[in-house]
Amino acid sequence: MESLSKNKIKLVRSLQRKKFRDEYGLFVLEGHKSVTEALNHYPELIEFLVSSDDSNMLTENHYFLAESEINEISGLSSGAQWLAVVKKPKIQSINKQHIVVIDGIQDPGNLGTIIRSCDWFGMTEIICSKDTVDCYNRKTVQATMGSIFRVKVEYVDLKRYLESYNHPIYGALMEGENIFKSEVQNKGALVFGNEGNGIREDIQKLITHPIHIPGKGNAESLNVAIAAGIVISEFSKRSML
């Protein structure tokens, strides 16, 4: 197992920035579990991998780097002993029933968790507004727990996209209909908004089916990834019956 070249170190570091992830079509995957899973299931996407453990070489493109060096080039605060540089996957959406739409979510953990929930419930397509956090951000990738390889995520002009979308558009709004009692169409878009501001006004206008998750406590709102989880599970459940 060779030591990682300076150029490759530079590449890994550059991938902390969206600009370079877009330019090279690559992103960084961290953690032993994630890296070995990717290697088992998506070997064609792995450019190279790096570990601080030099006892068993997993692939030709497996390099060695001391743990302190991996920590240094890693964008996450907690130390990763494994990382891989990976090609962005080209995913075909299988589920043609429901799509999930994200309007301006900023927290990478929230987006990653929503991608993971979509994968669990079999919704394979997410459409994001252009100002939504990048799905290849390291914290997002980490929160997806591998689902980044199975859910198609696209960034579009959301207003234009929804204006030409010909199915029901559901949106979680305070004054919406009780999600547990409302009718669920077999096709539709489920829209979730920004953490602080919710769904933007010009997108709200395009919502044909406002929905609401009824609470009986005192919190002002639910975390957006939780709200998305509940709505996605409800739609998945109903279209399963």
CA torsion sign for 139, 141, 144, 145 is negative
Residues 105-144 that bind a copy of itself (CB under 8 A): 109, 113, 116-124, 143
In angstroms, rounded to a whole number, what is the distance separating the alpha carbons of residues 70 and 74? 6
217 binds a copy of itself (CB under 8 A): yes
214 binds a copy of itself (CB under 8 A): yes
Q: Which amino acid is at 162?
A: L
Q: How far is the CB of 64 from a copy of itself (least distance, A)?
A: 26
Please report where in the chains the tokens 């953990």 appear, as a residue. Answer: 109
Q: How far is the CB of 84 from a copy of itself (least distance, A)?
A: 18
Taking the least distance from each CB to a copy of itself, the nearer of 59 and 93 is 93
Q: How far is the CB of 104 from a copy of itself (least distance, A)?
A: 18
In angstroms, rounded to a whole number, what is the distance separating the alpha carbons of residues 105 and 225? 10
Stretch that binds a copy of itself, among 18-26, 47-55, 83-91, 230-238 (CB under 8 A): 230-238
Q: How far is the CB of 234 from a copy of itself (least distance, A)?
A: 9
For 155-207, give the DSSP string.
EE-HHHHHHT--S-EEEEEEEEEETTTS---SSEEEEEEBTTTBS-HHHHTT-
Q: How far is the CB of 206 from a copy of itself (least distance, A)?
A: 26
Q: Out of 60, 183, 201, 220, name the contact with a copy of itself by CB under 8 A.
A: 220
C-beta separation of 93 from 212 below 8 A: no
Pairing of strands 2-3, 152-156: unpaired
Q: How far is the CB of 202 from a copy of itself (least distance, A)?
A: 25
Residues 161-190 that bind a copy of itself (CB under 8 A): 180
82 binds a copy of itself (CB under 8 A): no
Taking the least distance from each CB to a copy of itself, the nearer of 10 and 33 is 33
42 binds a copy of itself (CB under 8 A): no
In angstroms, rounded to a whole number, what is the distance separating the alpha carbons of residues 169 and 191? 7
129: closest CA among 197, 185, 177?
A: 197
Long-range contacts from 162-167, C-beta under 8 angstroms, 24+ separation: 162/101, 162/189, 162/191, 162/203, 162/206, 163/206, 165/189
26 binds a copy of itself (CB under 8 A): no
Q: How far is the CB of 50 from a copy of itself (least distance, A)?
A: 22
* Helix, coil or strand: residue 7: helix
Judged by the rule CB under 8 A, the positions of this chain that interact with a copy of itself are 77, 109, 113, 116-124, 143, 145-147, 150, 180, 213-223, 225-226, 229-230, 233, 236-237, 240
